[in-house]
Amino acid sequence: MSQLGQVIGILRKLNDEYQISTPKKLKLIDAYLVYVLLTGIIQFIYCLLVGTFPFNSFLSGFISTVGCFILAASLRIQLNTTNRSTFNVTPERAFADFVFAHIILHLVVINFIG
């Protein structure tokens, strides 16, 4: 029980830390990430329930959610000011790369969805 209490304590500490230290922009991206994750989970559960018949459609939709998640996570990483030393990009450039990658991703997804 004490271990459970410890875990809960750690989680609460994490939550507080998170609320304090992340700027609003990054929280917005985090909310978007949670949304995309939920969409992906829903798609996967649907596939498990209904079956994989148009497999390419399922793959296309699922990879679209995973791709959006990854790209948003990358954007968040690049916009985070604590990571300025490892990356050498301005926020505008990060966003432009984000849009470029999304164009490629969605072109392929639409082609594959069949």
Interface with another protein by CB under 8 A: which residues?
10, 13-14, 17-18, 21, 55-56, 59-60, 63, 66-67, 70-71, 73-75, 77-78, 83, 86-89, 94, 97-98, 100-101, 104-105, 108-109, 111-112
- Pair of tokens at residue 74: 């990358």
* Minimum gap (Å) between residue 42 Cβ and another protein: 19
- Decide: helix, strand or coil at residue 101: helix
Cα–Cα dist 102/99, whole Å: 5
* Minimum gap (Å) between residue 78 Cβ and another protein: 7
Cα–Cα dist 78/68, whole Å: 15
